Amino acid sequence: MNLDVVQILFEIIAFLFAISVHESAHAWMANRCGDPTARMLGRITLNPIRHIDPVGTILLPAIALISHFPVIGWAKPTPVDPRHFKNPVRDDILTSLAGPASNLLVAGASVVGLAVIANTSALGRALVHGFAAQSGSILVPITVLLYEFMYINVLLAAFNVIPVPPLDGSHVLRHFLPESMRRAYDMAGMIGLVLLFLVGGPVIRFLMAPVLQFFQFVLARI
């Protein structure tokens, strides 16, 4: 199979898994905080079909792949009813941050997997350090897939912590705004989201950089 096709396939797999983990984490935390809405709708699941959004999960990633950009997008929003929360402000923040946190955990687990491969053999170490991409070993696709899991999960976490409604970061910032400003902030969300997609690349890269550099630092010392 063509290497470019394999790369695209791995990006799609990593993206679908990342959004499924992300939305499941929202649903799980909301349920822990007293709101069973998402759990009752079957959203605490890694089945991507439960989380697919026609635009964010299909159209936008397809455009990114065709344009040779990293796969980015979103899933169907997890339904949350804050009226069920025991502590509305705290629980809304916890539920919102559970998504990006879960993606960072997956990225960290991917680094652990790469570390294991690096310690299996000289070939494994070479693969993790990018020196043996042409080998026919089964370790090659596994290594590439783990790198995709690491990168896309960090990308999704960084994208979602940006405080632009309706992204997760906005659920933190909005609680520190006065009520009058909060309404305007929520209403301006779609405009901000469009601007983010048009010119937000440097912001996302800035937020990703410390995490990726840390992971790369760890892998370089294996």
pLDDT at 115 over 60: yes
CB contact at 8 A, 139 and 120? yes
Read off the pLDDT of residues 30-60 as tens digits, 9 standing for 90 and up. 999 999 999 999 999 999 999 999 988 888 8
Q: Which residue type is seen at 167?
A: L
11 lies in which domain range? Answer: 3-220
Is the model's pTM score more than 0.75? yes
Read off the pLDDT of residues 119-153 as tens digits, 9 standing for 90 and up. 988 888 888 987 765 667 888 889 999 999 999 99
CA 33/CA 82 separation, integer angstroms? 9
CB contact at 8 A, 162 and 205? no
Query: Which of the four pLDDT bands, split at 50, 70 and 90, describes residue 2?
Result: low
Concatenated DSSP letters of the chain:
--HHHHHHHHHHHHHHHHHHHHHHHHHHHHHHTT--HHHHTT-SS--GGGG--IIIIIIHHHHHHHTTPPP----PPPP--GGG-SSHHHHHHHHHHHHHHHHHHHHHHHHHHHHHHHTT-HHHHHHHTTS-TT--STHHHHHHHHHHHHHHHHHHHHHHHS--TTSHHHHHHGGGS-HHHHHHHHHTHHHHHHHHHHH-HHHHHHHHHHHHHHHHHHHHT-
In total, how many domains does the chain have? Answer: 1
pLDDT of the residue at 67? 75
The secondary structure of 79-134, three-state, reads CCCHHHCCCHHHHHHHHHHHHHHHHHHHHHHHHHHHHHHHCCCHHHHHHHCCCCCC
Query: Which of the four pLDDT bands, split at 50, 70 and 90, describes residue 156?
Result: very high
> Which has more pLDDT, 167 or 196?
167
Look at 12-16, 34-38, 73-77 and tell me which has the smallest mean pLDDT.
Answer: 73-77
